[in-house]
Structure 1
């Protein structure tokens, strides 16, 4: 047996290059969010992310079990951008506080217009989602919503925001052109057959932001009425 050869091989093995260095999670999530914003939800994959980072999918598996885990963490990072009032739940009126939380969520989803479809794939359960949910539920409970109504109110508000966010498109120029075409068509409509539509053509179609605000106020008013009805029984 050639001892020198064996020792040389062992020495070479000891000097073998280490694996790829670990990439900070924040950099990974920032890059993933860029892919999502620029290329859409379908483009967000571990392989594409590894290419953008100049790394390998094996490196990413140190942080994520699979694509679903990657999506969950990216979604939670986005939810972390939502502004949530940190005052004591009983120190502020629930309607303006809950409204502000819903509006902030809609604005965040407006900035990241490709994320709404991901929110339909799974219910967010990350730490930022937990903080947002806890704050809104605490507000509702602190202002007289019974336990049977508070979670339903929260779910309805969340799905309302998501429903409007799903109507947003990343191509804002195309959306503007479509609204202009719709408006022109409504102004040409036969006033004898559709008098109400023609009379209101100057107000249609309503900008989605205005629709959202109007509907949100109706939803909050309805929830307040339901809360009061529960209090009377």
Structure 2
């Protein structure tokens, strides 16, 4: 993604909340979360760092707004599959959340550290709880299932993005794991290394998601 452009010389920078979030996401994609500072963001926008605090009292407030922006439209995913099949609709929401987080470098790290209460985040939660309640799950079960599905999706994506940095073709620790297993007596790990070091993270995700949904399905029997 291209580097945010500076305002034209001699013209005051236009600063607003939406532009600030978009620029922050551009910087996130360019350099990652660790390099995203309020000072660097201000430089990219052509303003003094203090000007950003008009909209975001802290960097955490900025990250929360970024997280909210990332999940825009995810709540609509439940309506894009068979309405009568609750497990397919729940799976569609989980997949849409993973996809949204993968759009941005370190997207899962940003989202995991925030507790947004904006319409996109709450809409996603309400859609998933609604799918479960309509399927006959109780309120307690629906709430805990929401936590389980979202936490699994975010946690999986967090590990996925940590394993594959931009430009990597295989997990950063794949070679280290191979060497460690080969140097010791770990026959079971040796037999499963092709999967343990696989970059088919979609397959890993789908396996875990299926286990969760099968477990939820068992509650209704």
Q: TM-score range by the shorter chain?
A: 0.7 to 0.9
Whether 2:6 is the aligned partner of 1:33: answer: no
Q: Is the 8 A contact 2:75 2:123 kept in 1?
A: no
Structure number with bigger Rg? 1
2-structure distance, mates of 1:172, 1:200:
26
Residues 93-145 of structure 1 deviation map (CA, whole Å, 9 limit, x = unaligned): 11011101101111222222313223333322122101111111111111101
Whether 2:221 is the aligned partner of 1:223: answer: no
1-structure distance, mates of 2:78, 2:203:
27
Q: What is the aligned partner in structure 1 of residue 5 from structure 2?
A: none
Q: 1:204 to 1:43 in 2, by over 3 A?
A: closer
Q: Is the 8 A contact 2:102 2:108 kept in 1?
A: no
Q: What is the aligned partner in structure 2 of residue 132 from structure 1?
A: 124
Q: What is the aligned partner in structure 1 of residue 48 from structure 2?
A: 56
Q: Is the 8 A contact 1:90 1:143 kept in 2?
A: no
Whether 2:214 is the aligned partner of 1:212: answer: no
**Which residue of 169, 175, 179 maps to 1:181?**
175
Q: Is the 8 A contact 2:13 2:47 kept in 1?
A: no
2-structure distance, mates of 1:40, 1:100:
28
Q: What is the aligned partner in structure 1 of residue 62 from structure 2?
A: 70
Q: What is the aligned partner in structure 2 of residue 9 from structure 1?
A: none
The CA deviation at 1:183 is 8.2
Residues 151-205 of structure 1 deviation map (CA, whole Å, 9 limit, x = unaligned): 0000010110111111123624446164763686599678xx6554455454443
Q: Is the 8 A contact 1:72 1:126 kept in 2?
A: no
Residues 40-65 of structure 1 deviation map (CA, whole Å, 9 limit, x = unaligned): 22333322211001112343233222
Q: Give TM-score, length-normalised by structure 2.
A: 0.79
Residues 15-49 of structure 1 deviation map (CA, whole Å, 9 limit, x = unaligned): xxxxx564243322111001112222233332221
Q: What is the aligned partner in structure 2 of residue 92 from structure 1?
A: 84
Runs (5+) with no aligned partner, structure 1? 1-19
Residues 78-97 of structure 1 deviation map (CA, whole Å, 9 limit, x = unaligned): 11153623649993311011
Q: Is the 8 A contact 2:75 2:127 kept in 1?
A: no
CA-based RMSD of the aligned residues comes to: 3.0
Q: What is the aligned partner in structure 1 of residue 135 from structure 2?
A: 143
2-structure distance, mates of 1:130, 1:104:
15
Q: What is the aligned partner in structure 1 of residue 165 from structure 2?
A: 171
Q: What is the aligned partner in structure 2 of residue 115 from structure 1?
A: 107
Q: 1:149 to 1:54 in 2, by over 3 A?
A: same
Range 116-125 or range 46-55, more displaced: 116-125
The total of aligned residue pairs comes to 208
